[in-house]
Amino acid sequence: MKPHHAVLFQPTTIGSIHVKNRYAMAPMGPLGLATAEGGWNQRGIEYYTTRARGGIGLIITGVCQVTNPADNVPTGMLPNPVQSPGNFIRTSRELTERVHAFDAKIVLQVGAGFGRVIVPSVLRPGDRPASASEIPYKWDPSLTCRELTHAEIRAVVDNFRVAGAVAKKAGFDGIQVHAVHEGYLLDQFAIEFFNRRTDEYGGSLENRLRFTRECVEAIHQSAGDDYPVQLRFSPKSMIKDWNEGAMPGEDFVERGRDIDEGIAAARLLHSYGYEALDVDVGSYDSWYWSHPPMYQAKGLYVPYARQVKDAVPEVPLIVAGRLDDPDLAASIVGDGTADLVSLGRPALADPEIVNKIAAGRTELIRPCISCQEGCIGRIAAYTSLRCAVNPQACREADIVLHPASSRRRKKVMIIGAGLAGLEAARVLAERDHEPVVYERSDHVGGVVVAGGQPSFKEDDLALLAYYDATLRELGVEVHLNTEVTPEMVADTDADHILVCTGSTPHSLALGAGVPVVEAVDALMDPAALGQRVAIVGGGLTGCELGISLRDKGRDVTVIEAMPDILQVSGPLCHANHEMLHTLVPYRGIDVIRNGHAVRVTDEGLLVEAGGQQRLVACDTVVTAIGYRPDQELWKALADSPKPRHLLGDARRTANILYAVWDAFEVAYQL
């Protein structure tokens, strides 16, 4: 390993749990990993075991809800230690024993409930969500939550008592309570903005934390006073108002928990018996803090964790938040901010990330790109945890890249070195096929190279660097500056053809005047655009380009034909969509909605909106109006006898997830 990373591999004790290194796996909702009886299915067992094999010292499972009679979460949606304790213990025993074989520890995260943030698909028709008080429902503010009754609170606490005994018998090294964080049920009780109660669960901070205190006391009653209990904890909420979060660096009045109360709460929680705090920042009302997109800085929680550590140095802290850079991780462990560094999405993207850091092979780490499409996006749409850049995530039990037999081994011609072509080549090489890649340009990566130019898209370029290093490691032959023709396909001795020719941008005829360039060219050479830039198209590309140009001090106007920006973009996780949608006006970008570009003049772009025309003064017009599949070569091969597949944007223009997943699926099956 690199010498300055050695601190990450020093053993430590987090509370009373001895951990072999300074890496934890952050809890991520285990959707799709439960049996109907509330135990772990084989996918879940293999998923966590794979990360333990990958070198992580402490595994923290995703949240396993106890039965909350007010939430009525459907059985089998999440593992549940009290639904069928025998089944949970049986399946958990296999999980914990396999994780322990790698000298890793594993903590069971157990949740009290959702309250006002329960998703509509789970809320039963006619029911009102139950929260600390009568407050607006997160997903439909016109609906008012009802107040949780004392009997319902007692039922949840009683189930934590059962969960403590079950977790201990199942072999877990401790429990992490979920959570005085992100605005879940316990947080709704803990935060005065949400809690208007006048009984013993409302008013003072001690009263608002009473529910959380009763949970840890119940666990210790059944599992013993020495059984380790941690807490997922947000020392600051970043709430400006209902469903309105703060921007990074914004001066605002905190309506949720501010850092001073967060520090006071940390002291109390530690005194109640929570021996370690797993720290992040945010809430459902500021979801892009709790689930940070690429527009958030690396290590975004570190300043807040530092304040907690300085004020309460005796409390061990696990710190998460885009900490996949081992240099950054080593710095916060080295200065004492974090006792453990927590990796969530990076461990989804590459379960071997810790082993690769230890081996000094960081160039082979497949990076998380913070798109959140495979994780949060798939959970929201399909209640199934996955990863955009790692199609095997949460399917480790089902999909193994077995080598092809000598009889089935193929030479495969891959036309195009965009993400689809690169992923196909990787998978084929891993399976002992012989992929050969042909790329007409002088570089690999296709449009991702341009898309990765904004400073906040650095991980897109890191993904391309990963493919470059991995294909070199696998010995894959890559031919650049090579235009493949139908004649070359006819003459090749390849057994199979994969056409990954990407896409071409839609264009506009805007006449003569100021220069008109396409978004890819603008991203690659922003210096040539001048001070004032008009962007036609308020989709993902246009908005990201606009923010990147504002970062460089340019004046930007976005012209969007729809009533709002980001309406016709491809799949976009809620947290990413919400943050980008808020960032555009916050960064001072002028948006013309329901606007249509008419023509350019020597002074700028003439735009029609609301039945009137106006001139947008600018030095350059950039078109960002989408792409269409490039199928010219595919159509030319219509009569070819060679077996072939069409992949990536050449098949359908989408996003990185579908380019990678489709390529993986075809290459896995060949």
Determine the number of helices (DSSP H) and then strands (DSSP E) in the chain.
Answer: 22, 32
Please enumerate in sequence order all residues whose Cβ is within 8 A of that of 249, keeping only pairs 6 or more positions apart, or say none.
Answer: none
CA distance 387 to 455: 23
Contact 304, 382 (CB under 8 A): no
* Cα within 13 Å of Cα(274), Cβ side: 28
CA distance 558 to 579: 17
Q: Convert 601-610 to b/e letters by CB count within 10 Å (16 or more is b).
A: eeebbbbeee
Instruction: Give residue for tokens 């009653």.
Output: 221
| R_g (Cα) of the chain, nearest Å | 26
Neighbour order of strands in the sheet with 477-479: 477-479, 434-438, 411-415, 496-499, 644-646
Q: Which of 23, 184, 284, 288 is catalytic?
A: 184
CA distance 594 to 576: 23
Question: Exposure of 563 by Cβ count < 10 A (0-12 exposed, 13-18 middle, 19+ buried)?
Answer: exposed
The amino acid sitting at 21 is N
**Do β-strands 130-131 and 146-147 pair in parallel, antiparallel, or remain unpaired?**
parallel
**Do β-strands 503-505 and 627-629 pair in parallel, antiparallel, or remain unpaired?**
antiparallel
Q: Is 137 a residue of the active site?
A: no
Please enumerate in sequence order all residues whose Cβ is within 8 A of that of 320, keeping only pairs 6 or more positions apart, or say none.
Answer: 26, 278, 279, 280, 301, 341, 342, 343, 344
Instruction: Give residue for tokens 């979460």.
Output: 73
Rounded to whole angstroms, what are the CA distances from 527 to 447, 521, 532, 619, 623? 19, 11, 11, 12, 16
**Do β-strands 239-241 and 244-245 pair in parallel, antiparallel, or remain unpaired?**
antiparallel
Contact 190, 265 (CB under 8 A): yes
User: So which residues are the catalytic ones?
Assistant: 184
